Amino acid sequence: GQQVMQIPQYQHVQEGEDFTTYCNSSTTLSNIQWYKQRPGGHPVFLIQLVKSGEVKKQKRLTFQFGEAKKNSSLHITATQTTDVGTYFCAGPPYSGAGSYQLTFGKGTKLSVIP
Amino acid sequence: DGGITQSPKYLFRKEGQNVTLSCEQNLNHDAMYWYRQDPGQGLRLIYYSQIVNDFQKGDIAEGYSVSREKKESFPLTVTSAQKNPTAFYLCASSWGRTDTQYFGPGTRLTVL
């Protein structure tokens, strides 16, 4: 079945440093979604990318969708303590029937040292 | 206020007892999901439902059961057959099975 892998699993950064997490799928995706889960909280949707090579920005966050629609990245510029949490990517396969659905990666846990 | 509610927030049960976790949504979403999250782990799909009176097993359905009698409600029962039930349980809903998912606040279940 489809697998979605994220690296790194954990990342510790000094406040002000940049951070990047990578998401790789074993199959071509129809879209890629990113979620953030704060410590003790629940995942919250951040953004969805649909087009090959698409880049979207949300303030200090930059999201990219690969040309082959099998990988994606989230880059945070100048991290702040409010960025702490676990970032998940998720995506459905490009085509398929039956039980195909959104598959989540295991997430990257970001810690920011003040 | 639209959204997903889960109750209770914290739940304690004795080993050998069944327990039911509530999940209600007023977003008019067709699809609903149950995930289990263990410390430092990702989201593992337990069950999902795309329409009323229909549901499918996810990756870790053993020891769990669900029902979908109403569009708004998707309760999860953790049975005594579930060997390691202590975890954080998250309910989610979406328009369709590949669409953005909206999560409830979760229920932390502890088996004593």
- Chain segment B21-78, per-residue pLDDT in tens: 999 999 999 999 999 999 878 899 999 999 999 999 999 999 999 999 999 999 999 9
- By the 8 A CB rule, do B66 and B84 touch? no
In this predicted structure, the answer to whether residue B97 has a pLDDT above a threshold of 90 is no
Going by pLDDT thresholds of 50, 70 and 90, the confidence category of residue A92 is: confident
DSSP B60: T
Q: Which of A8, A6, A13 is nearest to A60 (CA)?
A: A13
- The beta-carbon neighbor of B98 closest among A42, A45, A102 is A102
Residue ranges of B 49-108 with Cβ closer than 8 A to chain A: 56, 90, 92, 94, 97-106
